[in-house]
Amino acid sequence: MTDLADNLGPTLACQNCAAEVAIEVAVRNGFDCPQCGTSLPERPDYAIEGATTPLEIVRAYGSYGYIDDYTLGDDGTYVCPGCSVILPADEFAVDARREIDQAAGPSATTTVLALRCPRCKTAGTLVIDPEVPGEG
């Protein structure tokens, strides 16, 4: 990831056409270059190297433009913070997923997702914590 002039913000460089693509544009385009369609080299999972807590992972994904906070519906659906659509989880584009074992046992795994809404393309994160009632 490179930083150009302040008005452009963080960008990713296309390996094919050398375009500097703003992170927000890359996220909306599913990490394909908007000029030539080539897959961009960096995805959000690269940002979380060394992150060990849900908060650190959310902040790392935020550096890639996943700045909004998704919520879980009562029936396991996802609620978009941009357009308030409520849809089944499998309808959202999950660009990155990180699981963290918080304690012993399989029910103590917290999952952090970087996802996009299929309707409005809002990019954000969702933390699914089995210790919180109504989640997991």
Mean pLDDT in runs of 10 for the chain (136 residues)? 49 89 84 90 73 89 90 93 96 90 68 94 90 50
**pLDDT for position 12:** 84
Predicted pLDDT at 29:
84
Residue from 95, 78, 80, 127 nearest 27 by CA: 95
**What pLDDT sits at residue 2?**
46
Instruction: For the beta carbon of residue 34, count every other beta carbon within 10 angstroms.
Output: 14
Strand partners, 10: 3
pTM assigned to the model? 0.73
